[in-house]
Structures are given as structure tokens and as C-alpha cells.
Structure 1
Amino acid sequence: MKRWLTIGFFLFCAGGEAQVLGGRSVFNFLRLSHTPQLTALGGINISQPSADIGMAFNNPALFTPSMHGQADAVFNDFYGGIKVFHLSVGYHHPKLNTNFIGGLNFFNYGSTTETDAGGNILGRFRPVDWVMQLGASRSYLEKWTYGATVKFISSNYGAYRSNGIATDVSVLFRDTTKLFSASFLVKNLGVQLKRYGNEREELPFDLQAGITKRLARAPFSFSVTAQRLHQYNLQYNDTAFNNENGYRNAPSKFSLGKITDHLVLGVTIHVHERVELQAGYNFLRRRELNPGNGGNGLNGFSAGLSVFPGKLAIRYARSYYQPGSAVNQVGLNLPLNQYFGLGKFGDRAGW
């Protein structure tokens, strides 16, 4: 355990040198929530115990042997006709006592017009982003799990292309008798390999910590997650723009808002063994999308539903980003090893 604490310390120090505000980094699609349960809980949650392998795709320490053979497929119809697809699958190797998870996030932005600097139309192209990752986790003693993920990231915007590599490292403490869990995640620690232009850009590095507590005598689980712990002030303050549009400038000294900007709240209602409801509130998203007195009253809020008919899990989430519309996300968890056998090879592989 001392070895992992030492590694965590050095990762924290490295993160302190990689402080970039939102919008000032490359590959920001890595920040988007890829699975409905995560989206419903506010878009950021690393401590919610779940049978959903999509949560383990975000935090490898959440992977449990019970997710062996499970696949997760998600579709998200985002704004502007953007189509987002997610696919992941998990495998537990009993001899190695190690869990493995691999998957892909794919962002299709459709077809758009290509022009030169003078606005002359040159044709059309189809911009895409994608990230492929492979993760592993192991248990330590009875209550600890640690994990890591390696990601290969790619962007293709016509003549402009870039790729990079990153890793996530996490540790989870879970006490099933007290219905409590806590986790710490180092996210998107990496480098841009191929640049769009001449300048190398930073990745959207993040340090996250979260806790979840389920009530013993009521069907509720509550989560609090803190994001971007390596930065105190997350507020982007363009004084010229604010003055021109009549918005208040962010205070330069201590303020409660600078603390709450880091927090994401989530609640799960365990209605029935086959039905769950989720809801979340993201303080930073709320503030960024509601400048001045404008914006949507529901910005920052999200909600979701999970139902478990038979061996399947069907999940839905809805989150708000602008007035009059919301983003919908639908996902399906399928235990592949219970539906598709691989014969003798599957028996040897522990499928």
C-alpha cells in the first residue's frame, strides 16, 4: 500500500504543474460523461457502488468480479446533430485475480463545410473524435481496490489531426457493513503526441475525490464528488466581456462560490430491486451556463432511471445545458457470458 501512496503523491505533484482551466486544453471531449448513470449523477461521480460497468470505465477501481462478461452500449444524441457512441466490456481473470475493462468512446460531428481563410468553399469533411482505453484493477485486503487505465486519444478535423496518450489512476475504499465508499482519481494524466499545429497543448487533467453513503433504513444513497482539486479558482473571468454585457466580475478574494464550483452532488433512490432513480447537481456547470441573469433554470441539474428486466439493465439519463432543451442518453448493460458461450475455449478462458 505504501508503494501506491508514493505513486499517488508524485501524480499529485505532477498534476500541480498541469493546471489548465476549462477551454484551455486539448481533447476536452474527455470530460463528457459517457454512460447514463454517471450523467444522471451530475456527470462526475467516482464512488457510487454499482453493477454498471460504465461506472468502472470512468473509474477502474469500481470494477468488481461480478461485472465479468458484462458489456455496456450507450447512445447519446447531443446538440447540433452530434452523435456519441460508447461501448465497453469487462473480464475477470481468476488466476491473476485481476479485472480488465476495455472500451471506446466515439464522437461523430456529422458533415461540415470546409473553407479556406478567405471563406471560399473547398468541399466537405466529417470531423470525429475518439478514445480507446484499456484498464485493470485489483483488490487489496478486504476493503481496498486500486486500478489504472491507459487511453489512446485521436481527433480528426479534416486537415487538422492530433492524437495523444493518457492514463487514469484510482483507489477505492469500500466498507459494505457501513454502506460507505470513498475514492480518489487522477484523471487524464498524459501528453499530446501529434499536434494540430506548432504548439503542444495540455490535456484536461483532473484530480477528483468522492464519497458515497447509503442509508441503512431508507432507500437512498448520497454522493459528494469534488473535481479539479489541483485548482482553487475555476472561474473564467473576462472583465472586458463582463463589463460590456453587464455581468458581474468574479471576486478576486475568497468566496463560497469558488469552493462550491468544485462540487457535484448525486442521489440514488433504490425504489425496488429492479428500479433505481438518480439525480444530480453540478455547481460548476450551473454557473458557467447561467451568466448574469440568463440561462436555463434547470442548467446543472440531471436525472435518470435504471430498470433491470431479467439479466439486462436499461438506463436513461437527461441533463440540461441550455433553455428549452436537454441531452438524452440511453444505455444497455448486457451480460455477454450469460447469453453467448465460447465452447471449450470459453471454458479455458474463464468465460
Structure 2
Amino acid sequence: MPKKLLLFLLFSFCTVVYGQIGGKSTYQFLNLVTSPRQAALGGKSITIYDNDVNQAHFNPATINPEMDNQLALNYGSYFGEVTYGTASYAYTYDRHLQTFQVGVNYVNYGKFDGYDENGTATSQFTGNEVALSFGYSYNVPYTDLHIGASGKLISSTLENYNSIGGAVDIGAVYIDEPNDVNWALVVRNIGTQFTTYSGTNEKLPLEILAGVSQELENVPLRWHLTLENLQQWNISFSNPNQAENSLDGSSSDKKVSFLGNAMRHVIIGAELFPKKSFNIRLGYNFRRAEELLILEQRNFSGISIGFGLKINKLKFNYSYSRYTLAANTSLFGLTVNLQ
């Protein structure tokens, strides 16, 4: 019954909600990956259910007592001077109230040179955004279904423009222990701006995700499959490098097939030795690979790799994600067991 309920909710959301992706909404930093483990698995993994307190950022239903007193700190250098980081902490008050989680996401866009309308240099300016979150999950009695919610207070400063907003994430995860299969469904960034940048209210980057993962019986490996941006079917972007030229010198965008658009919703990943002190991770993001493809060059866009190493009460995580030949990103994370 819980799995049927998850499927019903998934198709219901897909039919009634229309969403936006890149460039059509504000607070886009909310969709950045929040930990090296998540990044190494291709991004947006929502089915991990263990003591990884970072998971609460993308699926609050995964908050559980194993995360009690776990503190995670993550830092990464994005493109140029852009840096961002996250932190997450969970605490179990008692077994009846389950576990609470608090977190923060922060991004700094670096310094920019300012100019007036005549091209005269003025002064430097910067931009940064931060989101504070509080999450809670609940195990439905007598079932293996877990549901959770996370509230976020968002602040954004871009030059001398400021905005404050709020959002809620709602998630569910079903743990099929006999088969080592996890099913998950998440609706992220349901919210609004409380104050706008310049009087125009903008939409938040609403997103619906579904996922499944399984640990193999005879191999120490867990595979992950995530379907992203399910609130909008057509998310294809015509890569100008793949434009079709005609005899008269004009060009037209290459049409994206039904299968090509469908695969852009898919993220796959695998984690070797998921329950050991040393883990190896590999992921592939199909949409990133297609949108950043360069013809006649192998740039391996969409691939991500990483590892985790646990030493006593410390765990170090690292990921490397490939975007283009000139732009890649690394994430570093440290998780501390404070018990």
C-alpha cells in the first residue's frame, strides 16, 4: 500500500503542477548539491536512509535517529570566485518525537566591478544568499513509510537589492528492508518571497523528484536512480553546438527527441561499500551531459566521482563533478559524531 500511495502522489503532482527550471525563478541556489556524497552520485539523491545528516537538505523524510548528534560541514568552490557551503545537525529528543534537523546553505558570488550607464567605474559590489532550515520526520505507525517536512527562511542580497522569502520541502520515503530497496518522493521549494528585490514577485524553483535505490544482495554496492524536474515534462535545451546547417547558410536548432527529453530527467549513481568505513561513488547526470556537450571533443560532462573515509568519529568526503573542459567543481565535507 505505501508504494502504491507514493506512485499515486507522484502522478497527481505531475499532472497538476507546472514548474520552472533554470532562469525562470529566483533563489536558484536552493538547487545546488549540498554534500560531496550527493554530488558524487550525480546530484539530488533522495533515497539515502542512514546516518548521513546531509540527506535532510534534499529529503526531510530521511531524518532518522541514526543522525543523532551528527554535525556535517561542507565547502566547495564553484565557478570563478563563487564559493558555497552547507552545514547540518540532527538531534533526537526522544524516540517518540523522532529526530529534528537544522541546516544552513550559503553561497557567495564574489566581487564584481561596478559601472554606471556611461561606462565609468563606480565601486565594487558583491552578492550572497543564505537559507536556514528546520526539518522533522515521522514514521507512520505500523508501516515502513516515513514522511517529513522542512521549513526554510531565505535571504538574498545582490548588489544593493535585497529579498527575503520562505519555502517548505515535503518528502516521503518507503523502506523495503527485506529487499533492501528504498522508494522516495519529494516536492521541494514550495514558497514565496516575503520581500522582493524591486517590487516584482518572482516564483521559487519548485521541483518534484522521485527516486529508488537498492543494495545488491551479493555485491557491496547500492545503485541509485533519481528522476528530477517531474513537474515539467519538456526540459530540453537545444545545444547551439548541435545546430543543423542548411545549404543557404542558415541554421536551425536540432530537435530533441522524446527519448532525449525523457533521459534529461534521469540521474544515476552507485556507491561501492556503502556500509563500510571507505566508500567509492560514481554518478552520471544526463541533462548536464547533453546541455554541456561539445561536438568532436570528449569533455565527459555529467560524470561525477568521489569517496568517503571514516576514521573513528570523523568522516571525510570528497567529490569531483565534470561540467566542461574549463569548468569543474570539487566539494569537501567533514562529518563529526558528537556523541
Global fold match (TM > 0.5): yes
Find out whether 1:322 has 2:324 as its counterpart: yes
In 1: Cα distance, 2:265 partner to 2:60 partner: 22
Partner SS, residue 111 of structure 1: strand
Aligned CA distance change for structure 1 residues 117 and 9 (closer, same or farther; 3 Å)? farther
Give the aligned partner of residue 145 of structure 1: 146
Partner SS, residue 234 of structure 1: coil
Give the aligned partner of residue 263 of structure 1: 266
In 1: Cα distance, 2:199 partner to 2:216 partner: 53
Q: RMSD in angstroms over aligned alpha carbons? A: 2.7
Give the aligned partner of residue 83 of structure 2: 83
In 2, are the aligned partners of 1:235 and 1:250 still within 8 Å (CA)? no
Structure with the larger helix share: 1
Give the aligned partner of residue 155 of structure 1: 156
In 1: Cα distance, 2:207 partner to 2:39 partner: 17
In 2, are the aligned partners of 1:295 and 1:322 still within 8 Å (CA)? no
Alignment of 1:79-228 (within 5 A): 79-94=79-94, 96-140=96-140, 141-228=142-229
In 1: Cα distance, 2:179 partner to 2:86 partner: 33
In 2: Cα distance, 1:10 partner to 1:37 partner: 25
Give the aligned partner of residue 314 of structure 2: 312
Residue of structure 1 aligned with 2:292, choices 276, 289, 293: 289
Give the aligned partner of residue 255 of structure 2: 250
In 2: Cα distance, 1:61 partner to 1:249 partner: 40
**Aligned-residue offset at 1:330:** 0.6
Aligned CA distance change for structure 1 residues 74 and 296 (closer, same or farther; 3 Å)? farther
Partner SS, residue 273 of structure 2: strand
Aligned CA distance change for structure 1 residues 192 and 18 (closer, same or farther; 3 Å)? farther
Give the aligned partner of residue 32 of structure 2: 32
* Unmatched segments (≥5 aa) in structure 1: 339-351
> TM-score under structure 1 normalisation?
0.86
**Aligned-residue offset at 1:272:** 7.2
> TM-score under structure 2 normalisation?
0.89
In 2: Cα distance, 1:64 partner to 1:213 partner: 19
**How many positions carry a matched residue from both structures?**
331
In 2: Cα distance, 1:90 partner to 1:217 partner: 32
In 2: Cα distance, 1:10 partner to 1:263 partner: 15
In 1, are the aligned partners of 2:147 and 2:172 still within 8 Å (CA)? yes
Alignment of 1:40-55 (within 5 A): 40-55=40-55
In 1: Cα distance, 2:164 partner to 2:317 partner: 31
Q: Partner letter of residue 112 of structure 2?
A: T
In 2: Cα distance, 1:111 partner to 1:231 partner: 34
In 2, are the aligned partners of 1:211 and 1:224 still within 8 Å (CA)? yes
* Unmatched segments (≥5 aa) in structure 2: none
Aligned CA distance change for structure 1 residues 31 and 272 (closer, same or farther; 3 Å)? closer
Q: Deviations over 1:80-118 (max 9, x none)?
A: 121212111101121642211111111112222222233
